[in-house]
Amino acid sequence: MLTTARAKVPLGPLTTLGVGGPADEFVEVLTERDAIDAVREADTAGTPALVLGGGSNLLVADRGFAGRALRMAARGVTRTRDGERVAVTAQAGEPWDELVAACVAEGLAGVECLSGIPGLVGATPIQNVGAYGQEVADTVTAVRAWDRVAREVVTLPAARCGFAYRDSAFKSGAPGRHVVLAVTFALTPGGVASVRYGELSRALAGDAAPTLGRVREAVVALRRAKSMVLDPGDPESRSAGSFFTNPIVTAALADRVEADARATGALREGEAMPRFAAGDGRVKLAAGWLIERAGVGRGEAMGRAAVSKAHALALVARDGCTAAEVVALARSVRGRVRARWGVTLAPEPVLVGFADGEGVE
């Protein structure tokens, strides 16, 4: 039975940033059927609906959300042998890192580098969550979802998910159309751990053949050093993770940025600017590098919002911070990067409840 909606439930405490106002209606859904009923009821009434997971990639406006917020809490994981792979299907409300830990413990390779990431399974295909050389697009085979337009449950194969760097059809193709109910991943039993990312390779330099468990430990340690692991004892972890995505630009623009950096001393003799091939002749730059070399210092604050002391890509909400203060700081950082390098950073978190002109863009 669908839980009765509650009125004016604050959303800030349900996000990792901890800021933002209330939802007009709030429903916690414990089953797939409840999720469908709650969304269908809102759609029938013409009420906007917001699906919440772990709140780790969300910035809610101080005025809150004028509609119904649904918190996904449906749990359950099944495993099925599929040839040389194991198909792992997890309900949207499963905590992501718990699933990763279980898969690593079972010797299932494919998600070990995605350890320590907060949030729930249902959000991972929307953002195409990735880190340390892996992303969920590498292993997702199907997404089960409620289609709010067709008003039916659909199963979308990976080819229809429109996966791209920190993007998908769920996020930018038809945002809000699909409510993710479950995700299926194809993992490799006894597979070799993925060590493709430079920083991770250096952390594991003394280990010639690291196990899945060793890679998970190293990834969590790297994330913790950057305050990217949720920890009540670490005020720097009160963030939405990386606030900006790494920009993908033309090779010509990347060359101009690098030449400028060398001419102005932002790059020292013999130092290389971080840049990575992104396909189609484009180049992915490191947003954190651009931010710090635009003169934005770690720990720099505007009001009660601050750049993390541990990681220039994270914006931290200090006690009493408002969503407006986070937005003001994000705009400042973005503007300084654009003025210095001619590169426009895109925010990674989803902004909810902001009117036109109030957000970061």
CATH number of the domain that residue 161 is part of: 3.30.465.10
Place of tokens 């950057």: 226
Model pLDDT, residue 3: 60
- Residue 292 is among the residues annotated as catalytic for this protein: no
Q: How many domains does the chain have?
A: 3
Residue 15 and residue 144 in one domain: no
CATH number at residue 27: 3.30.43.10
pLDDT tens digits, one per residue of 45-64 = 999 999 999 999 999 999 99
Residue 66 and residue 98 in one domain: no
Q: How confident is the model at residue 1 (pLDDT cuts 50, 70, 90)?
A: very low
Residue 207 and residue 128 in one domain: yes
Residue 290 and residue 335 in one domain: yes
Mean pLDDT of 297-319: 97
Give a yes or no: residue 359 inside a domain.
Answer: no
pLDDT exceeds 90 at position 138: yes
pLDDT tens digits, one per residue of 206-231 = 888 999 999 999 999 999 999 999 99
Residue 242 and residue 103 in one domain: no
CATH number at residue 309: 3.90.78.10
pLDDT exceeds 60 at position 2: no
Mean pLDDT taken over the chain: 95
Give a yes or no: residue 65 inside a domain.
Answer: yes
- Active-site residue (options: 237, 242, 258, 325): 242
Residue 170 and residue 214 in one domain: yes
Domain stop point among 55, 72, 89: 72
Give a yes or no: residue 357 inside a domain.
Answer: no
Residue 81 and residue 157 in one domain: yes
- Active-site residue (options: 166, 223, 293, 340): 166
Model pLDDT, residue 206: 80
pLDDT tens digits, one per residue of 267-299 = 988 899 999 999 999 999 999 999 999 999 999
Mean pLDDT of 191-202: 94
Residue 67 and residue 89 in one domain: no
- Active-site residue (options: 236, 258, 325, 348): 348
- Residue 94 is among the residues annotated as catalytic for this protein: no
- Residue 348 is among the residues annotated as catalytic for this protein: yes
Residue 220 and residue 242 in one domain: no
Give a yes or no: residue 361 inside a domain.
Answer: no
Residue 14 and residue 116 in one domain: no
pLDDT exceeds 70 at position 165: yes
Instruction: Report percent pLDDT > 70 for the chain.
Output: 99
Model pLDDT, residue 269: 86
Give a yes or no: residue 173 inside a domain.
Answer: yes
pTM: 0.92
Question: Which residues are bridge partners to 178 per DSSP?
Answer: 147
Give a yes or no: residue 358 inside a domain.
Answer: no
Model pLDDT, residue 62: 98
pLDDT exceeds 60 at position 328: yes
Model pLDDT, residue 361: 74
Q: Which domain holds residue 15?
A: 6-72
Which is nearest to 108 in space by CA: 86, 125, 90? 86
Give a yes or no: residue 48 inside a domain.
Answer: yes
Residue 253 and residue 347 in one domain: yes
